[in-house]
């Protein structure tokens, strides 16, 4: 059994009861004293391998024999799979990337003994061996400010990330260097820039030439905007009356925003400005010792609305998972919901009247988790995922839902899926089903009674992991945890791909390493194409305590500008400080998010996106579902949200299916703004 198979099958989706959390590191077992792991903690260099010794002892202190062990590598920050330290079945631990990792250790033998504990692995770089200063010109103009960047390689030629060398200027009257490695050119002359870290050192000669800039102008696309609106500033530099190309540095000042504790705005090197708070901001452009300024008035965005509950489909005896909504062949509206850590149930609902949601049927399969549920475009076929089957034959189950009041099983498909299917997607008579948390199988269901495999997509990484796949316009977007988002042609034509021959188009890393789900979004108002990537980070305590009232997931939403498919760029985020993101949906430039303990969130994503959308006041509204009779009383764990025919539906793990309505604030609800 591979470590990711164990991770996805036993922990995230089955194993809240299997292993202990990072705060509970006492060895545990069914009937014994526990494990001895040496060394623990372990320190290993990048690319190097060390062996860990693992022994198990019973209550009498006798060593148990015939044991086998396996590992799951987790980030120290929470339940996120990591490739930072790889472990094999012989106990060889290989350092892959710098960081501290918790390896959950499982030991078992044929006699039924079972033990679990943690090994902490710290992966370090080798000593620095070479340093070079990157992209520093041999000549630069006085009055300029240059950002310095360095490449530091260790003894094995591996780059040391976030290295902090000591940097000095031999002639501080000509150029000085601040604590952030900003090089300020003060007057014409020559200097040597020296950088050193450990035994590695490098020197760079720089000539500062007199400024040619006699004038600089600055103009903006707008001078009055709302919080969150992007303004582009254009600076031009001149030598007498001739325009010249000179690097320009931008800065922001705001007396009104600073009085509230921070500048409240940001500006990129290309002159793109956005503010999080209202106020008067002054943007300064500096080049060759000359300065130009431009003032921008930023007002409140004022997008807030009310959210009121319309109806519920209550489930409090087990955890609810994903859901799907559709218009049936009879013209009525329906929903299907799954269950987690339960008995393999999927429920079917009539939601035609959101104020009177009715459960109309259910289906039970051999599974512990029915984590994902999807409906075909014609509303006749439902596919549900299976994990934790008693037969250990997981996979997908295909259902006839032409009459949602009488759901029937058409077929099952388990080939190459027995490790468990956590997520799936239906697109043009094909199911894209995650297999064992490592890749996705592509299954043709044109005849739902005779499903058959036609293709597969898997990345070339020994520590590969995948959580989700979403398909739109012939392109599959997979969420591959710390490998980021991968865009695959499965019929679009841009790379010649098809379901039988999926072809990668592009990929990008996401800030952090917890990429859990992805949603493509074409913004008509910004004329941009965004890929929205979400985190999912559970505290390690969850592995022992499960879904309790103390659980506090983390993670946020990342916005990647993928307008240029060859140059994706992460540009914005939406972060609720006290909660963690899960599944979401976009419609009409509005984002609907299931934010776990933060409830359902509705966010304005119109226009160009840049910066922190939460702090910009783009949240339209939120609702946190709580029920004293819930599976976990009074604890929200909102799974995902979707707008549908004027309402917003969402599922909550502890309370079931909900319908709410977003409505304009009533006159008495509108906040009053007082200006001097």
CB 33 within 8 A of CB 61: yes
In a domain, 673, yes or no: no
In a domain, 676, yes or no: no
- pLDDT (average), residues 289-296: 94
The answer on 71 and 99 residing in a single domain is yes
| Alpha-carbon 181 to chain mean position | 30
Residue 18 above 60 pLDDT?
no
The answer on 492 and 611 residing in a single domain is yes
Q: Is 258 helix (H, G, I), strand (E, B) or coil?
A: helix
- pLDDT (average), residues 627-636: 95
Q: Kindly list the strands in the beta sheet with 182-185, ordered across the sheet, starting from the edge strand earlier in the chain.
A: 145-147, 182-185, 175-177
The answer on 120 and 132 residing in a single domain is no
The answer on 239 and 257 residing in a single domain is yes
Domain boundary among 94, 124, 154: 124
Q: pLDDT (tens digit, 9 = 90+) per residue, 359-405?
A: 999 999 999 999 999 999 999 999 999 999 998 889 999 999 999 99
Residue 177, domain extent: 128-209
CB 602 within 8 A of CB 614: no
CA nearest to 46, candidates 89, 99, 108, 8:
99
Residue 522 above 60 pLDDT?
yes
Domain boundary among 176, 209, 242: 209
CATH number at residue 475: 2.130.10.10
Amino acid 12: pLDDT: 38
Amino acid 11: pLDDT: 40
The answer on 133 and 24 residing in a single domain is no
Q: Kindly list the strands in the beta sheet with 189-197, ordered across the sheet, starting from the edge strand earlier in the chain.
A: 139-141, 200-209, 189-197, 166-169
Amino acid 497: pLDDT: 96
Q: How many domains does the chain have?
A: 4
Domain boundary among 101, 124, 147: 124
The answer on 467 and 430 residing in a single domain is yes
CA nearest to 639, candidates 539, 511, 553, 521:
553
The answer on 147 and 254 residing in a single domain is no
Following DSSP, what letter does each residue of 138-174 receive, concatenated? SEEETT-EEE-EEEEEETTS-B-TT---EEEES-TTT
Q: pLDDT (tens digit, 9 = 90+) per residue, 189-240?
A: 999 999 999 999 999 999 999 999 999 999 999 999 999 999 999 999 999 9
Indicate the Cα dihedral angle 542, 543, 544, 547, nearest 10°. Answer: 40
Q: pLDDT (tens digit, 9 = 90+) per residue, 236-264?
A: 999 998 999 988 999 998 876 655 555 78
CATH number at residue 20: 2.60.40.1080
Amino acid 33: pLDDT: 74
The answer on 537 and 452 residing in a single domain is yes
The answer on 141 and 110 residing in a single domain is no
In a domain, 386, yes or no: yes
In a domain, 675, yes or no: no
CA nearest to 423, candidates 463, 394, 381:
394
The answer on 511 and 379 residing in a single domain is yes
- pLDDT (average), residues 163-176: 94
As a whole number, the mean pLDDT across the chain is 89
CATH number at residue 234: 2.60.40.10
Amino acid 552: pLDDT: 87
pTM for the whole thing?
A: 0.88
The answer on 352 and 295 residing in a single domain is no
In a domain, 674, yes or no: no
The answer on 525 and 440 residing in a single domain is yes
Alpha-carbon distances of 109 from 67, 68, 113, rounded to whole Å = 4, 6, 6
Amino acid 236: pLDDT: 96
Residue 676 above 70 pLDDT?
no
- Between strands 139-141 and 200-209, the pairing is parallel
In a domain, 641, yes or no: yes
């Amino acid at each position: 059994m591979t470590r990711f198979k164990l991770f996805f099958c036993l922990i995230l989706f089955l194993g809240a009861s299997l292993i202990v959390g990072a705060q509970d590191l006492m060895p545990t077992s069914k009937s014994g004293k526990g494990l001895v792991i040496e060394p623990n903690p372990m320190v290993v260099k990048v690319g190097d391998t060390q062996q860990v010794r693992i022994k198990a002892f019973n209550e009498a202190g006798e060593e148990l024999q015939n044991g086998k062990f396996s590992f799951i590598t987790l980030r120290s920050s929470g339940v996120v799979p990591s490739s930072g330290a790889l472990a094999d079945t012989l106990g060889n631990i290989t350092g892959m990337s710098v960081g501290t990792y918790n390896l959950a250790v499982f030991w078992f033998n044929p006699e039924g003994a079972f033990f679990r504990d943690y090994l902490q692995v710290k992966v370090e770089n080798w000593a620095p061996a070479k340093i070079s200063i990157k992209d520093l010109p041999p000549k630069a103009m006085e009055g300029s400010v240059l950002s310095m960047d360095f490449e530091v390689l260790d003894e094995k030629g591996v780059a040391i990330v976030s290295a902090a060398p000591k940097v000095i200027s031999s002639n501080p009257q000509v150029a000085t260097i601040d604590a952030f490695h900003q090089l300020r050119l003060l007057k014409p002359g020559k200097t040597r820039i020296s950088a050193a870290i450990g035994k590695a050192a490098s020197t760079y000669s720089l000539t500062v030439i007199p400024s040619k800039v006699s004038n600089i102008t600055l103009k903006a696309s707008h001078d009055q905007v709302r919080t969150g609106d992007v303004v582009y500033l254009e600076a031009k530099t001149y030598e007498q009356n001739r325009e010249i190309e000179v690097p320009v540095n931008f800065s922001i000042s705001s007396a009104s925003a600073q009085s509230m504790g921070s500048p409240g705005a940001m500006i990129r090197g290309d002159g793109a400005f956005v503010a999080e708070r209202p106020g008067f901001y002054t943007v300064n452009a500096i080049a060759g010792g000359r300065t130009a300024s431009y003032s921008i008035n930023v007002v409140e965005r004022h997008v807030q609305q009310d959210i009121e509950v319309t109806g519920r489909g209550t489930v409090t005896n087990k955890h609810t998972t994903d859901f799907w909504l559709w218009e049936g062949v009879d013209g009525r509206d329906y929903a299907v919901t799954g269950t987690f850590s339960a008995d393999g149930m999927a429920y079917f609902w009539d939601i035609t009247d959101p104020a009177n949601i009715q459960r109309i049927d259910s289906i039970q399969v051999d599974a512990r988790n029915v984590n994902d549920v999807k409906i075909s475009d014609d509303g006749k076929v439902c596919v549900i995922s299976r994990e934790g089957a008693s037969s250990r034959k997981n996979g997908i189950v295909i259902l006839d839902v032409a009459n949602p009041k009488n759901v029937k099983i058409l077929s099952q498909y388990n080939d190459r899926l027995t490790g468990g299917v956590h997520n799936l997607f239906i697109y043009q008579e094909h199911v894209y089903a995650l297999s064992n948390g490592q890749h996705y199988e592509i299954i043709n269901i044109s005849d739902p009674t005779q499903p058959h495999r036609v293709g597969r997509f898997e990345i070339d990484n020994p520590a590969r992991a995948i959580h989700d796949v979403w398909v739109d316009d012939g392109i599959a977007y997979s969420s591959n945890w710390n490998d980021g988002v991968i865009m695959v042609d499965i019929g679009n034509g841009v790379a010649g791909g098809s379901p039988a021959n999926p072809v990668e188009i592009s990929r990008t890393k996401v800030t952090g390493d917890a990429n859990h789900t992805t949603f493509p979004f074409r913004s008509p108002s910004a004329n941009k194409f965004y890929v929205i990537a979400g985190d999912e980070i559970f505290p390690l305590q969850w592995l022992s305590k499960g879904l309790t009232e103390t659980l506090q997931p983390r993670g946020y939403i990342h916005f990647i500008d993928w307008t240029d498919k060859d140059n994706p760029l992460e540009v914005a985020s939406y972060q609720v400080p006290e909660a963690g993101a899960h599944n979401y949906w976009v419609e009409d430039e509005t984002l609907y998010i299931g934010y776990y303990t933060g409830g359902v969130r509705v966010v304005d994503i119109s226009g160009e996106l840049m910066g922190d959308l939460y702090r910009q006041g783009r949240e339209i509204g939120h609702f946190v579902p709580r029920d004293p009779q819930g599976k976990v009383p009074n604890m929200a764990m909102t799974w995902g949200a979707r707008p549908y025919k004027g309402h917003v539906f969402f599922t909550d793990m502890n309370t079931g299916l909900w319908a709410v309505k977003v409505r304009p604030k009533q006159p008495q609800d509108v906040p009053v703004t007082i200006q001097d």
